[in-house]
Amino acid sequence: MRAFIFPGQGSQAVGMGQALSDASPVARAVFGEVDEALGQHLFRTMTEGPAEDLLLTENAQPAIMANAIATLRVLEQEGGIRLADKADAVAGHSLGEYTALCAADALDLATTARLLKLRGRAMQAAVPVGEGAMAALLGVDLERARTIAGAAVDAILAEGGPELVCTVANDNDPSQVVISGHRIAIERAVALAKELGAKRALLLPVSAPFHCPLMQPAADAMDAALAQADLRAPLVPLYCNVDAVAVADPGAIRALLVAQVTGMVRWRESVLAMVDAGVSEFVEFGGKVLAPMVKRIAPDVTATSVVTMDDVEELLKRL
């Protein structure tokens, strides 16, 4: 069995999509449709920058999606294949869940782009700039990360400070967990991390504290937007971030996408669930972030990243 997987924020870089667009009219059509849906020259920002504009959450999210979908569409249309014939499941990391739904024909491309633009804006607006932060804890598992996060909150309370949010945002793999919340608490967690068992802890260059309770205003915004979106059953099951199980019902998917804004991304558990279901091959489209995580979670599976035309042609030989 095979799963197609799609990366989340952090995989963007100026120049993304340029070579694919130069090589394929199919890719150019995807980037053009996204630009039209958003009413902006997003592809120009993707290929020419400036980097600070691409880094903006409201641009990064649809850009990463567009790049991944363009890569998949090239595979499908120029290779003459259908996702439903070559994949048994889809999954995505955070915003990648929307890409996965677009790939599996549950959302059309224009709707996906507009939803991600709104999601990015709403997530950025949910917390004033500077009040939130995220950090990666390396060399720890989920339980150790929760211990570190709790210790930071307890330490601040013991000093007479307020009760702040500091919680696990992403359970990425057995040795990488991301925490999110109020900046003061996250910085305290980073300071405590090494003595509590982490090999390393570092603040992430993000503009908001994603996947924590502080994102509730963004969850409310997505609830309203998704209620109006034409969301169909995906061609193959989606393994969702929130509960790491396969889902195909559109109503359930809507609820899970809303819950995902404030909830933990259970990527490690999602990969294990797919492996338990029989998936032995993972193909990441549009990035080189998830495939290495998959190998750390399940060393015996095959995990590849498809980014370039050469990657597409190599994958077509195996399919």
State residue 99's pLDDT score.
98
Q: Are 207 and 124 in contact (CB under 8 A)?
A: yes
Tokens of 53: 């504009």
Residues 6+ apart with CB under 8 A from 271: 91, 282, 293, 294, 297, 298
Provide the β-strand partners of residue 173. 176
pLDDT for 197-208, tens place per residue?
999 999 998 878
- The answer to whether the predicted template modeling score (pTM) of the entire model surpasses 0.85 is yes
- Rounded (5°) CA angle 112-118-120: 100
Cis amide prior to 62 (ω within 30 degrees): no
94 is annotated as an active-site residue: yes
Tokens of 191: 């300071």
CATH code for the structural domain at 132-203: 3.30.70.250
Marked catalytic residue, from 24, 94, 270, 305: 94
| One CATH from 3.30.70.100, 3.40.366.10, 1.10.3720.10, 3.40.50.300 for 2-126+213-318 | 3.40.366.10
Other C-beta atoms within 10 Å of 314: how many?
Answer: 12
Q: Rounded to 5 degrees, what are φ and ψ at 60?
A: -60, -40
The domains of the chain are located at 2-126+213-318, 132-203
pLDDT for 128-172, tens place per residue?
988 999 999 999 999 999 999 999 999 999 999 999 999 999 999
211 is annotated as an active-site residue: yes
Marked catalytic residue, from 11, 182, 207, 211: 211
Q: Are 104 and 90 in contact (CB under 8 A)?
A: yes
State residue 60's pLDDT score.
92
Which residues of the chain, if any, have pLDDT below 50? none
